[in-house]
A and B are shown apart, each in its own frame.
Chain A
Amino acid sequence: NAGVMQNPRHLVRRRGQEARLRCSPVKGHSHVYWYRQLPEEGLKFMVYLQKENIIDESGMPKERFSAEFPKEGPSILRIQQVVRGDSAAYFCASSPVIVATYNEQFFGPGTRLTVL
């Protein structure tokens, strides 16, 4: 069984370019979360998605950042017009259909974005 997959593992972009980060959840999982880990800082929640729906994007910067989880294919975190402050590790996690008030999240290996 494949776990959460993220690609690319490392991404280098110049200021002003776009970054697209992909996350394939565990097979059968319908919930995806994106987290960001800035250098020397802890992890921070960005967005929570179910298939074709954004459930909570309270942690997403209001501009330049967007996320989607289409019916088919991976979840995409898109950063437009990247700036140096976007350099971070971006982690995706997935969980199965929620049957209780909480659920275990399975993390991907992360994408390390470097903005030059």
Chain B
Amino acid sequence: KNEVEQSPQNLTAQEGEFITINCSYSVGISALHWLQQHPGGGIVSLFMLSSGKKKHGRLIATINIQEKHSSLHITASHPRDSAVYICAVNFPGGGADGLTFGKGTHLIIQP
């Protein structure tokens, strides 16, 4: 069964802390996406990656294909980073390009 697991489910941290959110998946994938969803808001695509590491501002995403694992890091966290972070993957085959999502990590950064 194609599954995506995220941890932690909830995370509360102080402003300035280094944040790590983890994502594991069950079988080989075509690509992995990190998404951000603010309360009551839409979804923003942060990264799409299939290997290695990507960086955008204070956000860093890494993926280890052999271990079927990805991490999203936030450096110098800020209250405006408070959101739900969602890992999603493209499982290959079957003709579908739709994403399979993790349940999300609810992040709260306190000032």
Q: CB within 8 Å of B: which residues of A? A: 31, 33, 35, 41-48, 55-56, 58-59, 91, 93, 95, 98, 101-110
Contact = CB atoms under 8 A, between A and B. Distances in A.
Interface residues of B, number: 26
Contact of B96 (A41, A55, A95, A110): A55
Interface of B: 30-31, 33, 35, 41-45, 48, 50, 86, 88, 90, 92, 94-104
A47 B103 CA distance: 19
A56 B98 contact: yes
B96 A108 contact: no
A12 B88 CA distance: 29
Contacts of A102: 30-31, 48, 50, 90, 97
Given A42-B103, A43-B86, A103 B97 contact: yes
